[in-house]
Chains A and B, each alone.
Chain A
Amino acid sequence: MKRKLISTLVGAALAVGVGAANAQISDGVIKIGVMSDMSSLYADIGGPGSTLAAKMAVEDFGAAKKGMKVEVVSADHQNKADVGSSVARQWYDVDKVDAIFDVPNSAVALAINQLTREKGKAFIDSGAASSDLTGKACSPNTVHWTYDTWMLANGTGTAIVKTGGDSWFFLTSDYAFGHALERDTEAAVLKNGGKVLGKVRHPLNTQDFSSFLLQAQSSKAKVIGLANAGGDTINSVKQAAEFGIVKGGQSLAGMLVFLSDVHGLGLDKAQGLVFTETFYWDLNDQTRAFAKRFAAGNNGKYPTMVHAGVYAGVLHYLKAIEAIKTDDGTKVIEQMKKTPTDDPLFGKGTIRADGRKIHPAYLVEVKKPSESKGPYDYYKIRATIPADQAFRPLAEGGCSLVK
């Protein structure tokens, strides 16, 4: 009888104790929603790999050991802002999701950015590119983790103009992302003394680029800037080779190229491409170890910088919750900005007032087939752009959070 009483009391005390620790965690569970393009042209860049990265981060954080209950759910936004918004509404209002991660496709990301702010939740973006997310559309509820159009333009654009590629023609994906990338690259080209001879805008997810490439060819520009991504970039590069564009003396500048794109193209077609990334699996022992584990769970496919960004973002998000013991979106993001970041993939870094995550960027060149030791041994690091120069200066973004 006595023993039973004691055990009941202990049980009650434990329950109360756990309850107290979780007092601020809404419904006792931290629910992470990974929203990505699960089935179309960006699915290898983010997609199911992003969900895997989030789950790995939860595991590595040791949430279970720390007594935090973390759940990861995922959804496909199909590259449509309306689909993304309605999933996010459902997640926030009904399914009690506390934070949304990844969201490649800038059009969808901008919609989620707005919605998250209205709902007071947290949005940690990895896959989208538009620098507007930390510029005129910046929000106290958003962190933009991995990369953005300004950084790409600044890294790749500047490097190419400085090595003699001073006249440009843009092949631009016709939506928020392409427009932002084109705008930021054009600015970088002009700033460094280059000029822009023309541009053509193609619909998202185009199969055949021959017509656009022909227009680029007849412009006689030295550099054809590809302001597109994923399957669109792959097809443009492949077909440019077919139409003898590079042989004819023009060069291609992939403004946003991911590891998965290079893999899809094959080194034969991709060799010599120069572009900017913020993560490469073969940087150090920690990134290599992560990549091996990741590939084992992802059909042998290695992580892109977007996957790395989701992983690191989730890690930092959980650390912030652990510190302030609440999953209130606005407070967590505030805490994330206050504390310096430290993770195995991006190293030490910070998050600025405008939500921009700051870390170094790498100007990479794709190896020749003869230089590569095997699948995924693809990049030579040509230069490291230090963290304080890689991203747009805080004052120039026009973000209202910056005083």
Chain B
Amino acid sequence: MDIFGIPTQALFGQLLIGLINGSFYALLSLGLAVIFGLLNIINFTHGAQYMLGAFVAYLLLNKLGIGYWWSLLLAPIIVGATGVVIERLMLSKLYKLDHLYGLLLTFGLALIIQGVFRNEYGSAGQPYAMPEQLSGGRNLGFMFLPNYRAWVIVASLVVCLGTWYVIEKTKLGSYLRAATENPQLVQAFGINVPRMITLTYGFGVGLAGLAGVMAAPIYQVSPQMGADLIIVVFAVVVIGGMGSIMGAIITGFGLGIIEGLTKVFYPEASNTVIFIIMAIVLLIRPAGLFGTQK
């Protein structure tokens, strides 16, 4: 059976692959959405922080002999900690100013971090071995699914939904949301708002680091890996609606699938399709699919 001249089996394979790439988009745009939604900072360092996550995993393995599973826990904490430092020392001075200043600062930081790593490690990137438990794969009949990719989908879904639950459904989340609406009032209730904001930024950055660790065995651990991805991820966030957590998750997975299908029907456009969608969405719904006009 064929659909538009493509065998159905091949199409299933491509849908699944789209879902895998979507996992990365979702995980990264989730961090961005959290940071923007709660701090009002457009975090352009996100790509560099994703790259940092991968490099921390690489260095842990090669310098200290710490493997993938521990990296999955340690790298986000380490990268998150660098985020906390950046927030305390620099970003916290900019909250009163226009968005543009935060954007410029984080963009500049990203260029510096990437430049330093490129100088040290070159552009070809470093290999990172796949954890043994997840190497190999299984034949699903319509495609060969590497075990590691299956793991990426599951892990990403769990992290995304967990984050959404914490922010939208728990008391901690309600403090956070309240703090962005009216920091003075929340502070008056005895909650340390600046510290909460710092930790939130650290958490968002940690998510980027986590995505970096998960990407390391699939792609090269290279200084450029985040720069290539961040533009797409920003488009995902804009389409989903700036600051909307669920929007970022759903759009991340959805656009992964659309991009995957483009690679079958018209591969030349696979780099641009997301931006075409972004342009259309902005024309029809300027606040994004899941955003609310303020």
Contact = CB atoms under 8 A, between A and B. Distances in A.
A203 B270 contact: yes
6 contacts: A41-B224, A214-B14, A235-B220, A238-B127, A260-B122, A264-B124
A211 B19 CA distance: 11
A220 interface: no
A201 B268 CA distance: 6
B7 interface: yes
Contacts of B125: 231, 234, 264
A263 B17 contact: no
A218 B146 CA distance: 16
A19 B44 CA distance: 54
A359 to B, nearest CB: 25
Given A202-B270, A203-B271, A210-B20, 20 more contacts: A43-B118, A201-B267, A203-B268, A205-B228, A210-B21, A210-B149, A212-B263, A218-B7, A218-B13, A231-B124, A231-B125, A231-B222, A235-B220, A238-B127, A238-B218, A239-B218, A242-B149, A261-B124, A264-B125, A269-B127
Nearest to B121: A299
A242 B130 CA distance: 9
A248 B149 CA distance: 18
A39 B13 CA distance: 34
Interface in B202-257: 218-220, 222, 224-225, 228-229
B31 to A, nearest CB: 18
A41 B123 contact: yes
Contacts of B21: 208, 210
Nearest to B114: A39
Most buried by A among B17, B126, B264: B17
Interface of A: 39-44, 47, 174, 200-203, 205-208, 210-212, 214-215, 217-218, 230-231, 234-235, 238-239, 242-244, 248, 260-261, 263-266, 268-269, 299, 301
A215 B6 CA distance: 10
A202 B266 CA distance: 10
B148 interface: yes
Contacts of B14: 211, 214
Nearest to A210: B17
Interface string B109-129: 000000100111011111101
Given A41-B224, A200-B267, A242 B146 contact: yes
Contacts of A242: 130, 137, 146, 148-149, 218
A214 B13 contact: yes
B10 interface: yes
Contacts of A205: 228
Nearest to A39: B118
B186 to A, nearest CB: 40
Interface string B6-38: 010110011001101100000000000000000
B146 A234 contact: no
A284 B137 CA distance: 44
A264 B124 CA distance: 5
A158 to B, nearest CB: 28
B124 A207 contact: no
B143 interface: yes
B66 to A, nearest CB: 19
Contact of A234 (B7, B124, B143, B267): B124
A361 B126 CA distance: 28
A42 B123 contact: yes
Interface string B134-154: 000100000110101100000
A114 to B, nearest CB: 25
Contact of A217 (B18, B144, B268): B144
A243 B122 contact: no
Contacts of B270: 202-203, 206, 211
B219 A235 contact: yes
Nearest to B13: A214
Given A41-B123, A211-B260, A214-B14, A243 B267 contact: no
B96 to A, nearest CB: 34
Contacts of B122: 43-44, 260, 264, 299, 301
A211 B124 contact: no
A44 B123 contact: yes
Contacts of B146: 242-244
A207 B225 contact: yes
Given A208-B21, A211-B17, A214-B10, A202 B123 contact: no
B127 A264 contact: yes
A266 B144 CA distance: 24
A248 B144 contact: yes
A384 B260 CA distance: 42
Contacts of A206: 270-271
Contacts of A239: 218
Contact of A40 (B13, B137, B224): B224
Contacts of A43: 118, 122-123
A376 to B, nearest CB: 13
Contact of A299 (B120, B219, B222, B260): B120
Contacts of A215: 10, 264
A390 B98 CA distance: 61
A231 B218 contact: no
Contacts of A243: 137, 144, 146
A231 B17 contact: no
B229 A207 contact: yes
Most buried by B among A40, A230, A248: A40
